[in-house]
Amino acid sequence: MSSRPWRARMIGTPAAIAAAMLLAACGSSGGTTAGSGSSSPSASSNSSSSLLTITTGAAGTFQDDFNPYSPNVEDPTNGMIYETLFFYDTAKAGVVDPWLGTSYAWSDGGKTLTVQLRHGVKWTDGKPFTSADVAYTFNLALKNAALNKFALPLKSVTTSGPYTVAINFKQSAYTDAYYALGRVDILPQHIWQSVKDPTTFLNSHPVGTGAFELSKFSGQVFTLTANPHYYMPGLPHFKTIRFLAFSGNTTSDAAIESGEVDWAGSFIPNIKQTYLAKNPKFVVSDIPLSTAFLVPNLVSGPTSKLAVRQAISAAVNRTSISNTVYNGYAPPTNPEALITPNYNSVLDPALASAAFGSPSAAKAKSILTRAGIKTPLNLTVDMVNGYTDYLSDLQIMVQELKPAGINLTIDQPAYTQFTSIQDTGKFQLLMDNFGYTPTPWSYYYSILDSTITKPIGQVDTVGNFGRYKNPEVDTLLSQIADTTSASVQNPDFYKIENIFTKDLPLIPLFEQQDEIEFNGNAVANYPSVTNPYGAPAVYIQPDMGWIAARLVPAK
């Protein structure tokens, strides 16, 4: 399964939209032929050296929308067409590569961020890129709150010369660096200043600085071609990129399995046989980017008792679930729920080899008995309807928890209803995943900080849905946020990790499976666990654009 952000994909995400499921239910014996009737000439793309075919899965149809402020923007906008000042490697915390910026420095206690810009960059229409464009972009967010995509506490933006920009914040903003430097797309002032309403502008003919430019668009397929004047020498290697839309996982999986697609992020059931066995050069790149959790309600109900959470954690056999459901591609995580090796830089050395004990129902039961909790204990877990892999996981857990005296019932509300249950905290347990950020602070903050939560019944859209409240953790998190010095931050991270292990505010299960398929017959130099120069997940921007420029056609 793979979670990815937008529109139809959201229903279709982790597993398959119901339609696709119905189809899959109908026949999973999947032949090698593509789902479409007429065989497509594009199958020859494998031999053509300069065409890269990508699918982001069940996207329905593409909308001609390349406005980076739009919540439904097409994926290549951020990273392929427009670029950020720096590249934060989502797959390796602490790696920040220069992009449109070359260096940055904090001053005034984290209230001023001064960025030096790259020289000699041109927009694809030939105009030079300067500090005026950067200032314009941040001023858009400053003047129109609706365009302040990452809710930055901006105060003012000043330029000095064509290659230096200073961004001033209302408060210390160290933790916003990732958003300001690594997520805000820099736009061309000479084009956007004449746009009447940037919020509803479709931007069908985007002019960016990126390695690729849009060439042809239709609802089912669109192509980007290499920017011939790209400023990074030798990049990009591929001359053409093609995006394909599929309406369901069945058709997209068929195209991936036939080798027609070179780069995809679809959940393929039984991937070893249905994909890897088809061709010796088919590759699955699986870099852990997020963690799957059971999120317990910590305010009310049985799950607010530590013993219940410990019992569940002790009884669940993570390894067997990983092997059964994910072909071993989602190994058990660690008791401190730290995403490794991504966040290794902040891992407490004392916890380096920490692991969950061997699963035991008897042990779980004794934990409950010792705490004086009556069994059988009835619990309900919510998961999004249609996330078939989560359903399989939970069905196994139901069996594993029964001998421990816990009767688990699975509820599968529809997506929008799940959202409401999660946000209002009206659940006992729910299954979800968190991560996909290059900053470990942001990860722990979004699952543990109590300042972002609201009381049960009120909508909390940011995180910490179980409403964990520990003043010590809040203090540690704000201490980490107040500095950029790793030597100050790391001891605080170690403390949080140890508190997590003890308190079990969420029950960590396994590394969220992020199976990304690469067709090695067409593509080389893709990111992997040993070479994580970017997060290869097709739904993570701007990593996708960074990687696309660096992929090499296979010989």
Partner 1 sequence: MRYVLRKLGFYLLAAWVALTVNFFLPQLIPGNPVDDLLTKMSQAGPVPVGEQQVLTRLLGLGSGNIFQRYWQYVDGVAHLRLGLSISNFPTPVSAEIGSAIYWTLVLVGTATVISFVLGIALGTLAGWKRGSRLEAIIPSTTLLTAMPYFWLALILVFVFATNVWHIFPAGQGYNTNSFINVGWNFTFIGSAIQHAILPALTIVISSVGGWLLGMRNMMVSTLSDDYVVAAEAKGLRPRRIMIGYAARNAVLPSISGFAISLGFVVSGAIAMEYVFSYPGIGFQLVTAVGNDDFPLMQGIFLVITFAVLGANLIVDLLHGFVDPRTRLSR
Interaction with partner 1 in 75-104: which residues (CB under 8 A)? 90
Sign for the pseudo-dihedral over CA of 216, 258, 251, 551: negative
In the bound complex, what is the minimum distance in angstroms from residue 478's beta carbon to partner 1?
A: 13
In the bound complex, what is the minimum distance in angstroms from residue 40's beta carbon to partner 1?
A: 4
Rounded to the nearest 10°, the torsion over CA 545, 291, 337, 340 is: -40
Looking at residues 422 to 441 of the shown chain, list those that interact with partner 1 (rule: CB under 8 A). 422-423, 433-437
397 Cβ contact list (under 8 Å, min separation 6): 316, 321, 408
The tokens describing 72, both together, are: 């439904």
In the bound complex, what is the minimum distance in angstroms from residue 292's beta carbon to partner 1?
A: 11
220 binds partner 1 (CB under 8 A): yes
Looking at residues 32 to 51 of the shown chain, list those that interact with partner 1 (rule: CB under 8 A). 33-38, 40-42
In the bound complex, what is the minimum distance in angstroms from residue 359's beta carbon to partner 1?
A: 28
Measured CA to CA, the distance from residue 74 to residue 72 in angstroms comes to 6
If the CB atoms of residues 244 and 346 are measured against partner 1, the closer one turns out to be 244
In the bound complex, what is the minimum distance in angstroms from residue 42's beta carbon to partner 1?
A: 5
Say if residue 13 is exposed, middle or buried (CB neighbours under 10 Å; 0-12, 13-18, 19+).
buried
SS3 123: coil
In the bound complex, what is the minimum distance in angstroms from residue 553's beta carbon to partner 1?
A: 20
Look at residues 491, 503, 436 and name the one whose alpha carbon lies nearest to residue 463.
Answer: 436
Sign for the pseudo-dihedral over CA of 69, 73, 78, 81: negative
* Residue carrying the six token digits 């090698």: 32
Looking at residues 450 to 509 of the shown chain, list those that interact with partner 1 (rule: CB under 8 A). 452, 459, 461-463
Of the listed pieces 9-17, 107-115, 157-165, 233-241, which binds partner 1 according to CB under 8 A? 9-17
Measured CA to CA, the distance from residue 65 to residue 247 in angstroms comes to 18
Give the interface size with partner 1 as a residue count (CB under 8 A): 89
Contact by Cβ (8 Å): 423, 450: no
The tokens describing 201, both together, are: 């502008």
CA distances from 344 to 92, 93, 333, 534 (A): 9, 8, 13, 16
In the bound complex, what is the minimum distance in angstroms from residue 488's beta carbon to partner 1?
A: 22
If the CB atoms of residues 40 and 49 are measured against partner 1, the closer one turns out to be 40
Looking at residues 226 to 265 of the shown chain, list those that interact with partner 1 (rule: CB under 8 A). 244-248, 250-251, 255, 260
In the bound complex, what is the minimum distance in angstroms from residue 110's beta carbon to partner 1?
A: 16
Of the listed pieces 77-85, 125-133, 212-220, 487-495, which binds partner 1 according to CB under 8 A? 212-220
Of the listed pieces 8-16, 110-118, 163-171, 357-365, which binds partner 1 according to CB under 8 A? 8-16
19 binds partner 1 (CB under 8 A): yes
Give the CB-side neighbour count of residue 93, counting CA atoms within 13 A.
Answer: 23
If the CB atoms of residues 192 and 201 are measured against partner 1, the closer one turns out to be 201
Looking at residues 388 to 427 of the shown chain, list those that interact with partner 1 (rule: CB under 8 A). 414-420, 422-423
| Cα-based angle 37, 39, 44 (whole degrees, multiple of 5) | 155
Pairing of strands 164-169, 112-117: antiparallel
If the CB atoms of residues 255 and 308 are measured against partner 1, the closer one turns out to be 255
If the CB atoms of residues 9 and 309 are measured against partner 1, the closer one turns out to be 9
Looking at residues 115 to 174 of the shown chain, list those that interact with partner 1 (rule: CB under 8 A). 145-152
In the bound complex, what is the minimum distance in angstroms from residue 303's beta carbon to partner 1?
A: 21
Helix 440-448 to helix 486-503 angle (10° resolution) is 40
Question: Site for partner 1 (CB under 8 A): which residue of 99, 104, 123, 179?
Answer: 179
* DSSP sequence for 481-513: HT---HHHHHHHHHHHHHHHHHH-SSEEEEEPP
- Neighbour count for residue 443 (Cβ, 10 Å): 24
Of the listed pieces 130-138, 219-227, 367-375, 483-491, which binds partner 1 according to CB under 8 A? 219-227
**452 — phi, psi (to 5°)?**
-90, -5
Contact by Cβ (8 Å): 388, 266: no
SS3 541: coil
If the CB atoms of residues 242 and 365 are measured against partner 1, the closer one turns out to be 242
End-to-end CA distance of the chain: 31
Question: Site for partner 1 (CB under 8 A): which residue of 71, 109, 376, 455?
Answer: 71
If the CB atoms of residues 54 and 308 are measured against partner 1, the closer one turns out to be 54
Looking at residues 528 to 547 of the shown chain, list those that interact with partner 1 (rule: CB under 8 A). 539-540
If the CB atoms of residues 352 and 459 are measured against partner 1, the closer one turns out to be 459
Question: Site for partner 1 (CB under 8 A): which residue of 47, 103, 193, 199?
Answer: 199
Of the listed pieces 17-25, 104-112, 363-371, 374-382, which binds partner 1 according to CB under 8 A? 17-25
CA distances from 2 to 346, 494, 538 (A): 26, 29, 10
Of the listed pieces 15-23, 126-134, 481-489, 494-502, which binds partner 1 according to CB under 8 A? 15-23
